[in-house]
Structure 1
Amino acid sequence: MNTMDKTYDPKFEKRIYDFWMKGRYFEAHVNPDKEPFTVMMPPPNITGQLHMGHALNQTVQDIIVRFKRMSGFETLWLPGTDHASIATEVKIVEQMKKEEGLTKADVGREGFLERAWAWKEKYGGRIAEQLKRLGTSCDWSKEAFTMDKNCSAAVLDAFVRYYKKGLIYRGDRIINWCPHCRTALSDAEVEYREQQSNLWYYRYPFADGEGSITIATTRPETMLGDTAVAVNPKDERMAGYVGRMLRLPLTDRVIPVVADDYVEIGFGTGAVKITPAHDPNDFELGLRHGLEVIRVIDDGGIMNENAGKYAGMTRLECRAAVVRDLEEQGYLEKIEPYAHNVGECYRCGETVEAIVSKQWFVKMKPLAEPAIKAVRSKKVEFIPKRFEKTYFNWMENIKDWCISRQLWWGHRIPAYYCDECGEMTVSKTEIDRCPKCGAPVRRDEDVLDTWFSSALWPFSTLGYPRKNKNLSYFYPTGVLVTAYDIIFFWVARMIFSGIEIMGEPPFPEVLIHGIVRDPYGKKMSKSAGNGVDPLELIDRYGADALRFSLASGIAPGSDTRFTEGKIESCRNFVNKLWNASRFVVMNIEKDDDLSFPRKLNGADKWILTRLNDVIKDVTINLNKYEIGLAAARLYDFTWSEFCDWYIEMSKPLLYGGNKKDHSHAVAMLTHVLTVLLKLLHPFIPFVTEEIYSKYAPKGSVLMVSDWPSYNKKTVFRKEERNFEALRATVVAIRNMRAEMNVPPSKKFEAFVIARDPAFVTAVSGLLERLAGISAVHLIEQKSEVTGAVASVVTDMAEILVPMGELIDIDKERERLGRELEQARADADRLGKLLANAAFVAKAPQKLVEGEREKLARADEKVKILTEKLAALGE
């Protein structure tokens, strides 16, 4: 007899994972005889720790990967981590300050990078170990890092390739700048939040002393950098102002009034202050009109020398001072409360500043066009389709991508400058001399945006730019699984990079999942105080319970709410599977023949038919990435049909004393259990592998076994209908027991008018066992049963049970009489209360409605009790 621990305890999970790793079952290799299926793990930051978002993303990927692996694909799930320039640099700076009392300037670039690599070696692998606890079945032998040798070579190749094609350029442009991180940001790295502020109205007087123009702004401090005021040329109110000069308050400068269609007629005062150095729209307008660009805010968010007496102030200090001075000098007209969206750094939350700076850019229009076409032509499909709208909106309105960052940790831009002759050289290999004049060169100080290397992830991880078998076999990948919040950051950039560099999109499908929210629908985060640590949940409930709770109820693109009750329910489900499996395993005897039986009984045919339907439904849903539907189907079949019904139906054969029947039951139970474990394995891999190992042939491993297939030879619709009718009959009898307060232990005779007497005769033993019946008697007419009876009618039969078999009729009549008397009294009291016009008129409406509901319930109770008494007779 095989053994299993009496109590489910997920402590075996580490042993199972080590077994998989030792067996190298996660590894994928070029195999011409198999179709490849590749998934690239969205690389978590090396600064990261496992959170619920990771847990959901990894669970969804692992379910797909395990399903595809069992379905016969050569499945590669390639893991890795991202160097995360800004986030990591912030960590290193904080660590140096805390532990050494040093700054970046103190240690220099090389000293800083030494510390950064040391930090990466110490902490960078932490999240990978955490992912293993979740059960991720990725090929760790191919683990990548965005700054490893291979990925770095791909970054250099791509940069030089883009540069030579004119797709990368360097120039003075207005960019997003984080004063805290002191680096440029792309548009996608700016998050907008609504802030309550003010709209300040003040006058700019004409230089000739005749009149003034009123403008309105949310940022009075930037007026110090104004170089024009713009009006719409079609605005008749402003027609006489164009070309005139204004005196800029608080300064000694004069600025022109210019006409530009950018200004909306009827919006605000009709005149707009133009600050080309600190607003992207103003910058473009300034280019059209040849306006001077005067920067008044420095890289740290401090007012510079161009701000005159306000130099050295922070932006907010300057704002307050400017408003005060405008008011004192009589320029301020009014202040109105105003709510508007303010851009913030996605990493530190600092208010982003728009500044003009010399930076590196990717020219996006030529790259966006084929990427848009790929989605429109269905070469790339978003699941759900509605996210294509998000993608198109971004790509069709895209601006050039600022890719330079004023950081030290990251891929350094491969551009070299010669101060002798002014030549700039972009090179894949490091150079120390100018190719033109031979003088020493200096390398660009900036590094590339982290997302530049992440955009190459689907092929840089496979050996690009080297031509190799892995790259040609595993690219393009099978599906990308990611959350909707990085469609801009990552998905779009991978698509255009794959098309431009590899000649085809990196994946045919993009599966978008939602985010994990708390029970109240709020986004989980540490700062909000509602975050949940997945590792703590794994410690308490096991990884399988966490995985199944995340998979249950999810749908592509939709957010999911996490509750402790949900994971407890899933732990109960895993426990139910464990107990049922233990029952099967403990009944296997050494001499049992576990081969599939030649002859099947009705219960066998029913469960096999139901099992085939589950195989079909789960397979279809997993192929459509409807993971939540697949999980729900498996939950219902496992809990109800297999555990609660089929195992109970098998017990008479197991315990009837007939060895042949025992072997038959065990063979069928192990067959169904094995198929069920395979179907459940992608969702709850640890417990299914552990259970399977308790009875499977030596050397057999569940995770690399074949996925079950639908077998029409074991589909028996007639028997399925009959046994569904049997189940309905048993449920109806159990409900009758509950309604009549008959204890489960009390057995009674049942008289059956059967639609199919032969079937009822065949299953009478099961009916007696499952419904608690002492004997089943087939009859043809109701008149064959005398006295008061209780009855239930189902598709299988009408079941008649003499009342005397169930209850003491006199005592039951007496009890029902007392209940009826009380119910009538309640109904009478409530009726009189509601007949009182004064009560109905003066009492709160809610109270009156409540009393009416009570009366309706009392009347219903009187009716039911009267019918029950009538059924008992006199």
Structure 2
Amino acid sequence: MTREEKSHLPSVYDPKKTEEKWYDFWLEGKFFEAGKDPNKKTYTIVIPPPNVTGNLHIGHALNNTLQDILVRFKRMQGYDTLWLPGMDHAGIATQARVEAKLREEGISRHDMGREKFVEKVWEWKETYAKNIAHQWRKIGISVDYSRERFTLDEGLSNAVREVFVRLYEKGLIYRGKYIINWDPVARTALSDIEVIYKEVKGALYHMNYPLKDGSGFIRVATTRPETMLGDTAVAVHPEDERYKHLIGKTVILPIVGREIPIIADEYVDPEFGSGAVKITPAHDPNDFEIGQRHNLPQVVVMDEAGKMNENAGKYQGMDRFDCRKQIVKDLQEAGVLVEIEEHVHSVGHSERSDAVVEPYLSTQWFVKMKPLAEKAIEIQKNGKGVRFVPERFEKIYLHWIENVRDWCISRQLWWGHRIPAWYCDDCGEMTVAREEPKTCPKCQSQRLRQDEDVLDTWFSSALWPFSTLGWPEETADLKRYYPTDVLVTGFDIIYFWVARMIFMALEFVEEKPFQDVLIHGLVRDAEGRKMSKSLGNGVDPMEVIEKYGADAMRFMLSTGCTPGNDQRFRWERVEAAQHFANKIWNASRFVLMNLEGVTPEELSLSDKKLSASDRWILHRLNETIRDVTQLLERYEFGEVGRILYNFIWDEFCDWYIEFAKLPLYGEDMEAKRTTQAVLVHVLDQSLRLLHPIMPFITEEIWQHLPVAGESITIANWPTENPAYHAPEAVRDMQILIEMIRAVRNIRAEMEVAPKHQIELFVRPGMDVLPAIQNNEAAIKRLCGVKQLHVDPAMERPEKAMTAVVTGAELFLPLAGLVDIEQTIARLQAELKKLNAEVERVEKKLANPGFVAKAPQHVVEAERKKGEEYKAKREKVLARLAEMQ
């Protein structure tokens, strides 16, 4: 870039022309790549891997932006930063999407076979991985692409097998029957996070189960009468006086005719319903636990498709919901169903297929979690654990890990990490191994078949912080960059992902995976609703970038973020961020246009004589550097944005640049050079502070500044300079700014044209007199004053507008300001209107009918109007008093 090109910025900032150019420049310069200087301290983040199921949403944009702010900040501070990117294969989600696409073509995965189907999913993965990588570019994230990982790549697959085998050998992985979440459409187990609960209007069915001895009945209630076919007991609380005499007796299960016992269990709530509950161990997780305690049989009455099986007798082959209707009819005819009560309750639905989830007894693979949780609980309680930001999430995390249940890790899918277990068709022996065995270790048969199931996606995700760095090998990256520094994630996956990563890291690397866990909230719509496909209220970050640019989106998202709390997406906030970008652009153009003929050497501040405004802006820059640095260390992104916005927009653009125009357009060359040097220094440092949030516009402007450096991405982070400590200049400038604002407000109220020069009288206190005298030229220029009179002993002029500021009184004679008679007439007309409005509102509010019948917000709006009219009336009366 030539010197002429450097000094010229186009009149309007165009993100579309800028953003792609600089991202390519950063990649070509390899500025994002880690490991260039082994002497630097490290700073590591591993990206929460997005699923290769589709495009990034606005929540991803927030999450990526926050991480990028931290990484760019630390890189500029001189750290060897590694931000490791990657994506998740997302087993059930991706398979569901591919199967849905195949269904549109009239094909099922079973038609294709496992191998061909998996090839098809890999094709899907390649397409969507490219989409995600493109979107990362658009957002501007500074990840090290040379280390990108995928949860199904060869290295991570090796890590998954190693962990599975080691846990199995320690007895922490086992195969057994357990109640799991079952999707009868996708025909697979689901993790808890894949179950979405919806309020459903259903019914509570009350039934009388007759006692075998003929002495009466016991009443139970259920929302799922079809499961009664699998009942193996009725339970009551052991201390419930109503039923103590029935404990140990037997009832006859209606329709089925099976004898089942009445048992006592403390789980039963005597206050709920009749205080007696039917126990179906194969179709309810709580009943399963009760069944385990009482050694009850487990009768499965449905198949994997949600149809009634051979244990359902005459209902075999019926869909579960059709069966429900038929059983209700049959129970009514038998006189057993005594009441049907309307009942709204929360019902689990599959996130992928939207099918009602069935609690289902199934043979699955499980991880024993309590032994893994013990280490995590211990380090968290002795103060050596992970730090949660905000702190309140530590209690949520601890509560979950202290009450953790075994984890069902098998999924009935074809896309994912195949479970490394093989079965011998000849002797039935099961072998768990890192590599595929050639023969059965028991009978040497070669007729071996691998387990059909794959592992839960969260199993490979749980290894993410160390598997991505090369574990189980002792790689150089693992040694240098582990543990990572911070995990940035949402609160909804503390249990499913954060806790499991900690468990696995402590077990296999013997060190926690990250120092901090930064929890951010959701991005909700403008009405505060969660974004969802069903509501159609989602926001595509690519659309935001297309309209306003990535920097505006990033600034809006980060400034709306306080740790742990949700924020609302509003387009007007993005627009305001774009206005901020334009403000910076225009200020930068002003600075560059006023550097003609200046060499970089002349812009050194070391030998310059600084004015009060120079010392003020440099002092405020110092404070801004201090505050922004501290707030970033504390993850207070919203406050960082607020402080930078106020400093750049208000203090630098609106005030310092205005003060700078006097020396820039004056004859004093030394003062001009000083001002140019201060402008460049403050703009340079401000751009560096803003760069982590708004990387594109800051790089574009910075490249035009006469400062040394290849890229702002690797420029040094600003630090405070003690030489610029000048609290007295801040005090003086606050006085001047207050005076200028007061005069400008009076001019605006009196509708005095900007070009009209006025006379100003100032009666200062002795403590502010030097500040005013030393800056008379600036006061004249910025207030539009032709004559300025400053005298501590001054008498108040007659017929003058007045204003009181810190340490001084200001008087603006009306004669030179406005046509007095005309202004009095205008104010009197305005007063008449305001009196009428105040009277109208007071009458309305005095009317009991209006206050009682109108909606509360309408009444409040009227009260507010009345207060505003009165406040305006007071101002008009004050002005009239001054005029008269």
Q: TM-score range by the shorter chain?
A: over 0.9
Which residue does the alignment assign to 1:162? 167
The answer (yes or no) to whether the contact 1:416–1:444 under 8 Å persists in 2 is yes
Worse overlay, 516-525 or 23-32: 23-32
Inter-CA distance 825–552: structure 2 relative to 1 (3 Å threshold): closer
Which residue does the alignment assign to 1:662? 672
Q: Is 1:694 aligned to residue 704 of structure 2?
A: yes
Alpha-carbon separation, structure 1, partners of 2:501 and 2:865? 63
Please, which of 466, 475, 483 is the counterpart of residue 468 of structure 1?
Answer: 475
Alpha-carbon separation, structure 1, partners of 2:39 and 2:803? 59
Which residue does the alignment assign to 1:149? 154
Alpha-carbon separation, structure 1, partners of 2:114 and 2:804? 84
Q: Is 1:401 aligned to residue 407 of structure 2?
A: yes
Q: Is 1:314 aligned to residue 319 of structure 2?
A: yes
The answer (yes or no) to whether the contact 2:178–2:361 under 8 Å persists in 1 is yes
The answer (yes or no) to whether the contact 1:606–1:720 under 8 Å persists in 2 is yes
Please, which of 783, 790, 807 is the counterpart of residue 778 of structure 1?
Answer: 790
The alignment partner of 1:24 has SS state of coil
The alignment partner of 1:236 has SS state of coil
Which residue does the alignment assign to 2:29? 23
Please, which of 800, 804, 811 is the counterpart of residue 811 of structure 2?
Answer: 800
Worse overlay, 463-472 or 168-177: 168-177
Paired residues for 1:802-821 under 5 Å: 802-820=813-831
Worse overlay, 396-405 or 730-739: 730-739
Which residue does the alignment assign to 1:492? 499
The answer (yes or no) to whether the contact 1:188–1:488 under 8 Å persists in 2 is no
Which residue does the alignment assign to 1:520? 527
Structure 1 residues 234-286: Cα deviation after superposition (integer angstroms, max 9, x where no partner) = 33322332333322211242222223333233432232111111112222222
Shift of 1:659: 3.6
Inter-CA distance 735–402: structure 2 relative to 1 (3 Å threshold): same
Which residue does the alignment assign to 1:595? 604
Alpha-carbon separation, structure 2, partners of 1:584 and 1:727? 21
Which residue does the alignment assign to 2:775? 763
Shift of 1:535: 0.4
Alpha-carbon separation, structure 2, partners of 1:851 and 1:243? 70
Structure 1 residues 190-231: Cα deviation after superposition (integer angstroms, max 9, x where no partner) = 333332211101111223444222111111000111122222
Structure 1 residues 266-308: Cα deviation after superposition (integer angstroms, max 9, x where no partner) = 4322321111111122222223333221111111111112111
Which residue does the alignment assign to 2:425? 419
- Counterpart amino acid of residue 48 in structure 2: P
Worse overlay, 190-199 or 157-166: 190-199
Which residue does the alignment assign to 2:442? 436
Q: Is 1:46 aligned to residue 55 of structure 2?
A: no
Inter-CA distance 112–325: structure 2 relative to 1 (3 Å threshold): same
Structure 1 residues 540-598: Cα deviation after superposition (integer angstroms, max 9, x where no partner) = 10000000010113100000001110000000000100010111112212344222252
Which residue does the alignment assign to 2:64? 58
Which residue does the alignment assign to 2:82? 76
- Counterpart amino acid of residue 442 in structure 1: R
Which residue does the alignment assign to 2:746? 736
Which residue does the alignment assign to 2:459? 452
Alpha-carbon separation, structure 2, partners of 1:344 and 1:337? 20
Inter-CA distance 104–432: structure 2 relative to 1 (3 Å threshold): farther
The answer (yes or no) to whether the contact 2:797–2:811 under 8 Å persists in 1 is no
Q: Is 1:539 aligned to residue 550 of structure 2?
A: no
TM-score by length of 1: 0.95
Sequence identity percentage: 51
Alpha-carbon separation, structure 2, partners of 1:574 and 1:568? 10
Worse overlay, 593-602 or 341-350: 341-350
Inter-CA distance 713–213: structure 2 relative to 1 (3 Å threshold): same
Alpha-carbon separation, structure 1, partners of 2:613 and 2:868? 42
The answer (yes or no) to whether the contact 1:185–1:405 under 8 Å persists in 2 is yes
Please, which of 622, 639, 642 is the counterpart of residue 649 of structure 2?
Answer: 639
Structure 1 residues 110-168: Cα deviation after superposition (integer angstroms, max 9, x where no partner) = 12112222222233221121111000000011110000011111101111111111111
The answer (yes or no) to whether the contact 2:200–2:345 under 8 Å persists in 1 is yes
Count of residues paired in the alignment: 867
Which residue does the alignment assign to 1:267? 272
Which residue does the alignment assign to 1:373? 378
Inter-CA distance 220–502: structure 2 relative to 1 (3 Å threshold): same
Which residue does the alignment assign to 1:682? 692
Which residue does the alignment assign to 2:102? 96
Alpha-carbon separation, structure 1, partners of 2:882 and 2:357? 79
Shift of 1:678: 0.1
Inter-CA distance 574–164: structure 2 relative to 1 (3 Å threshold): same
Please, which of 336, 340, 346 is the counterpart of residue 341 of structure 1?
Answer: 346
Structure 2: runs of 5+ lacking an equivalent? none
Inter-CA distance 348–385: structure 2 relative to 1 (3 Å threshold): farther
Q: Is 1:215 aligned to residue 226 of structure 2?
A: no
Q: Is 1:135 aligned to residue 140 of structure 2?
A: yes
The alignment partner of 1:804 has SS state of coil
The alignment partner of 2:133 has SS state of helix
Alpha-carbon separation, structure 2, partners of 1:829 and 1:86? 65
The answer (yes or no) to whether the contact 2:519–2:564 under 8 Å persists in 1 is yes
The alignment partner of 1:478 has SS state of strand
Which residue does the alignment assign to 1:746? 756
Shift of 1:760: 1.7
Shift of 1:855: 7.5
Worse overlay, 188-197 or 854-863: 854-863
Alpha-carbon separation, structure 1, partners of 2:165 and 2:535? 43
Worse overlay, 131-140 or 232-241: 232-241
Structure 1 residues 612-670: Cα deviation after superposition (integer angstroms, max 9, x where no partner) = 11001100100000000000000011111010011111111111144433322221111
Which residue does the alignment assign to 2:714? 704
Structure 1 residues 305-353: Cα deviation after superposition (integer angstroms, max 9, x where no partner) = 2111211221111111100110011111111112222222233332211
Q: Is 1:106 aligned to residue 111 of structure 2?
A: yes
Aligned-residue RMSD, C-alpha: 2.2
Worse overlay, 70-79 or 432-441: 432-441
The answer (yes or no) to whether the contact 1:30–1:469 under 8 Å persists in 2 is no
- Counterpart amino acid of residue 758 in structure 1: P
Alpha-carbon separation, structure 1, partners of 2:395 and 2:337? 44
The alignment partner of 1:634 has SS state of helix
Please, which of 1, 7, 11 is the counterpart of residue 6 of structure 1?
Answer: 11
Shift of 1:357: 1.4
Alpha-carbon separation, structure 1, partners of 2:294 and 2:730? 81
Which residue does the alignment assign to 2:590? 583
The alignment partner of 1:508 has SS state of strand
Alpha-carbon separation, structure 2, partners of 1:198 and 1:413? 41
Structure 1 residues 760-811: Cα deviation after superposition (integer angstroms, max 9, x where no partner) = 222111111111111222223233x643222222225322222111112232
- Counterpart amino acid of residue 270 in structure 1: G
Structure 1 residues 461-504: Cα deviation after superposition (integer angstroms, max 9, x where no partner) = 00001111100110000000001111111100001111111001
- Counterpart amino acid of residue 464 in structure 2: W
Which residue does the alignment assign to 1:552? 559
Shift of 1:851: 8.3
Shift of 1:695: 2.2
Inter-CA distance 227–861: structure 2 relative to 1 (3 Å threshold): closer
Inter-CA distance 730–152: structure 2 relative to 1 (3 Å threshold): same
Shift of 1:743: 2.3
Inter-CA distance 123–166: structure 2 relative to 1 (3 Å threshold): same
Inter-CA distance 525–824: structure 2 relative to 1 (3 Å threshold): closer
